Chain A
Amino acid sequence: MLNSTILYNALKLSEEIYDESQYGIDDLYRIKDISHSLDLNHWHSKSWLAEELCKLYNHPAGKILVVGGWYGLMAYQLRSCWPDEQMNIISTDMDPMCEEYGYKLFKGNNIQYKTLEVNSKLDLSGYTAIVNTSCEHMEPEAVQYIIDNKDENAWVAFQSNDYYGIDSHINCSPSLEYWKDELKLDWFAYADQQKASLFNRFMIIGK
């Protein structure tokens, strides 16, 4: 499942970040963060979402917005399921460095990158699906904003978890059922969970 070209890109990016730390901005934690973003459990969880959404969406064209997309692994997995250009895939994150490093990590995979934060100014019209695997990092109001402001027929595919022990996890849910009740979706097409070593990961797909 792991792609050796992308892992090679990550190694070269790590060299670049180290060099930058010697002569410019010293931010070696980026190396760990990028490495973590490509962890095997992220490959599995993003692949899970891409495959299930692909089955349900069942159409070759559209425009998918990934929010909280980190360095772009989610967008890459979606591109693997929709290799044709008819599907426009945009990976976004509030961290501006994700855009810069994402291009380098997943170059040649026809993914657009943008820096944006989910807030009340975000225009979600025109997207046929909105993907968010970072719900535990976002305020509940931001997650609900996506549901309330997407086009009526647009899909949402979300992941969250019950991993409360991480400082940046500000919006975990205690169970899949609890989370499902919290999200005010009109229609649930898929809801399931997977056990990770320290937590449960939840996934909901619907409209």
Chain B
Amino acid sequence: MFNIICVKFGTKYSSDFVNKLYMDLSCYKPCNEFKFYCYTDNPEGINDSVNIINPIGPKLNGVWNKLALFHPDFPIKGQNVYLDLDVFIASDVSAWLSWFHWDKLSIVHAPWKDNKKRYGRLSSYDVTHHSSIMVWENNVHHIWEHFNSGLRDYYMRKYAGIDRFLAHEDFELGYVPAKMVMSKKYQDKDLFEDFPPTVITYEELDVELHDLI
């Protein structure tokens, strides 16, 4: 048994995104073989089969709520797979469980961001990863504690989102297997011809629900 978690705060995504993610995952894996959770400030409209987790810790906006998943009081233990609401599930996520590095936080490598380099190196605030998928078991509370310090407000001003925070605050990070994930915007389908991706991510794209169908 493992956990799959999504985060829905504010009005950017409706409950339909949560329900669709849950149904898509259920297509490839019986519901009794994983637990699906939604960490949200508004559970209205979410399928009754989805386990709701109410907000904990200080009030945060938007994507910063993803960091609360690493709060020591977050009520889920075990092997966790976080998925953004704007991802397309193409096959069974659990097929990758034995490939993940559970001892640290793993996110998605985004090597195409290297192409944005100027002057021969990435700018200080650029990143070569994204957090559409995050995988961890334990030992990640230090990320929350680092964020939830006297510098919490400063970090939210300094970094345009948690990807940069994770990149530039010197955390030890791993990557999920490259073959698991395809970026809709940056990667060509041909790269995955022999081995279709399990998850297609839509980072940096404005996504409507019908885009994911």
Within the complex, the shortest CB–CB distance from B149 to chain A, in Å, comes to 8
Interface of A is mostly: loop
Kindly name the residue among B60, B61, B151, B156 whose own CB sees the greatest number of chain A CB atoms within 10 A. Answer: B61
Within the complex, the shortest CB–CB distance from B102 to chain A, in Å, comes to 30
Select which of A29, A96, A170 is within 8 A of B59 by beta carbon. Answer: A170
Residues of B within 8 A of A167 (CB): 61-62, 64, 156-157
Q: Are B61 and A96 in contact (CB under 8 A)?
A: no
Select which of A29, A94, A169 is within 8 A of B150 by beta carbon. Answer: A94
Q: How far is the CA of A167 from the CA of B67 in the complex (A)?
A: 14
Given contacts A95-B151, A95-B153, A96-B150, contact A170 B158 (CB under 8 A): no
Select which of B124, B150, B156 is within 8 A of A168 by beta carbon. Answer: B156
Q: Are A33 and B153 in contact (CB under 8 A)?
A: no
What sequence of 0s and 1s flags, for each residue 29-62 of chain A, a beta carbon within 8 Å of any chain B beta carbon?
1000100000000000000000000000000000
* Cβ of B152 under 8 Å from chain A: yes
* CB nearest to B10 among chain A residues: A164
* CB nearest to B158 among chain A residues: A29
Residues of B within 8 A of A93 (CB): 150
* Cβ of A171 under 8 Å from chain B: yes
* CB nearest to A36 among chain B residues: B157
* Cβ of B154 under 8 Å from chain A: yes
Within the complex, the shortest CB–CB distance from A191 to chain B, in Å, comes to 24
Residues of A within 8 A of B150 (CB): 93-96, 115, 117
* Cβ of B58 under 8 Å from chain A: yes
Q: How far is the CA of A107 from the CA of B105 in the complex (A)?
A: 43
Within the complex, the shortest CB–CB distance from B195 to chain A, in Å, comes to 37
* CB nearest to A137 among chain B residues: B153
Residues of B within 8 A of A183 (CB): none
Q: Are B158 and A94 in contact (CB under 8 A)?
A: no
* Cβ of A162 under 8 Å from chain B: no
* CB nearest to B63 among chain A residues: A167
Within the complex, the shortest CB–CB distance from A48 to chain B, in Å, comes to 23
Chain A residues with a Cβ under 8 A of chain B:
26, 28-29, 33, 93-97, 115, 117, 137, 139, 167-171
Subset of 14 A-B contacts with CB under 8 Å: A28-B124, A29-B157, A29-B158, A33-B157, A94-B152, A96-B151, A115-B150, A137-B153, A139-B58, A167-B64, A167-B157, A168-B61, A170-B58, A170-B59
